[in-house]
Structure 1
Amino acid sequence: MSGHDHRLTEHEADAMFEPPSWDERYSGPEKIFSGDPNPQLVAEATGLTPGTALDVGCGEGGDVIWLAGRGWTVTGADFSANGLARAARHAEQAGVADRVDWWQVDARTFAAGGRTYDLVTSHFLHPPNGGMVEVTRRLAEAVARGGHLLVVGHAPSEVFTRLMESRRKAMFLAEELLPALPDDFDVLVAEQRPRTMTRDGVTVDVHDSTLLARRTS
């Protein structure tokens, strides 16, 4: 938000988490994200045997395309129709469209409906007011026996102090997600990992809250 923008109310800030806001963001010609895979996905999925994967909050499809290019059969899920349309175009351009499909769904009401995947992943999905715990519980239901769950988000940081309270509350520590895991999950990673990112042209140090768990077979 620039200095010329009016100060958002909490209601307006909350609206930024809803599908219409993201459809608007994706309606322009420019890319919103780099298209590169998220670094924690690369770190954790590189050593896994490719199978089926579900990426919830897939946005423009960078992680979906990376997984598909490494032999995974991937479902990209997002609540933005415009985002999914962009992701589909990018998958076509990358030559992996035959390995992916798309699912328009809101992570906050997502239900696996009996479908399971060898890898379920979500990166930087931040529903308001601590909602990621409930989202993690829903994602865990979609993990197949022997499969993995990878959830990554922004850890609270001084870098984000200028954000509205509702947006700061959407951030989380990895250990805060642990109560969402069923008893048949083994926690492999629950930590905040340092990363350097560029924000508004400034390089800053942040931490990625990273939860990796495996459902026992």
Structure 2
Amino acid sequence: MGGTSGMDSTGWDERYAAVDLVWGAEPNRWLAAEAAGLAPGRALDLAAGEGRNAIWLARRGWDVTAVDFSGVAVERGRRLAGSEPVDIAGRITWKVADVRQEVGPAGAYSLVCVVYLHLVADERRRAVRHAANAVAPGGVLLVVGHDTTNLTEGIGGPQDPRVLFTPDDILADLNAEANGPVADWVVERAERVRRPVRTADGETRDAIDALVRVRRSR
């Protein structure tokens, strides 16, 4: 997904239809690093786009539910999974749905990832609460996105400050009453991280991302 609430699924369908791969084929670097040491189980990939992270997880033995509100992106992800040299198609369930709504059974997933989903604060909070609700006891919730400081200190990403966030914003979302007490979560990482980006003129600059990894304690 990765857009603002002002762009509906039709807008994202058009964006995905315009190019081969909007986000590329490689998994997000933070998802790959944070999930590398986890034992494969059930994963929920919210705002999955064309499935680059879902496919990476499935290659490593995860059973993944990949959710995006763009039907074009979901269909492309399904085709990409089917073209893998190793049969992983059966490990991924593709679903067209709005991640601002409940999209997975409560407490069912050992990993829930939300990677570059950018919404205005109240919609983001709703999506994070739904994501958190899907995490099983002992499971991990991973949220990654363009940090608020990226607008002035980094490069790329949305230019609307209303849809950017900080690690503290995500922790506050988790502390919302609808999701239970914050003690249910052990904070394993909550920090700004720098991601090198090659610019059009060949230089390398850092984008600044917010990364939050929490584990459900019960």
Query: Does the alignment reach a TM-score above 0.5?
Result: yes
Residue correspondence of structure 1 range 17-96 to structure 2 within 5 A: 18-28=8-18, 30-94=20-84, 95-96=87-88
Q: Tell me how large the CA RMSD over aligned residues is.
A: 2.1
1:194 to 2:210 alignment: no
Equivalent residue in structure 2 for 1:169, among 121, 140, 162:
162
Determine if contact 2:190/2:212 at 8 Å carries over to the other structure.
yes
Q: CA deviation at 1:53?
A: 0.1
Structure-2 residue corresponding to 1:9 = none
Q: CA deviation at 1:114?
A: 3.4
Structure-1 residue corresponding to 2:115 = 123
- Give CA deviations for 1:71-108 in whole Å, capped at 9, x if unaligned: 10001000000000000011111231011111111111
Structure-2 residue corresponding to 1:4 = none
Structure-2 residue corresponding to 1:154 = 146
- Tell me the SS of whatever aligns to 2:17: coil
Residue correspondence of structure 1 range 93-108 to structure 2 within 5 A: 93-94=83-84, 95-108=87-100
> How many corresponding residue pairs?
202
1:139 to 2:131 alignment: yes
Report the Cα distance in structure 1 between the residues aligned to 2:92 and 2:58, rounded to whole angstroms: 7
Distance 1:49 1:14, change over 3 A: closer
Distance 1:189 1:21, change over 3 A: same
TM (norm. structure 2) is 0.85
Bigger shift: 57-66 or 167-176? 167-176
TM (norm. structure 1) is 0.85
Q: CA deviation at 1:198?
A: 3.3
Determine if contact 1:117/1:142 at 8 Å carries over to the other structure.
yes
Bigger shift: 173-182 or 63-72? 173-182
Residue correspondence of structure 1 range 197-212 to structure 2 within 5 A: 197-198=197-198, 203-212=204-213
Q: Which runs of 5+ in 2 are unaligned?
A: 175-179
Q: Which runs of 5+ in 1 are unaligned?
A: 1-12
Distance 1:214 1:102, change over 3 A: same
Determine if contact 2:25/2:52 at 8 Å carries over to the other structure.
yes
Determine if contact 2:106/2:136 at 8 Å carries over to the other structure.
no
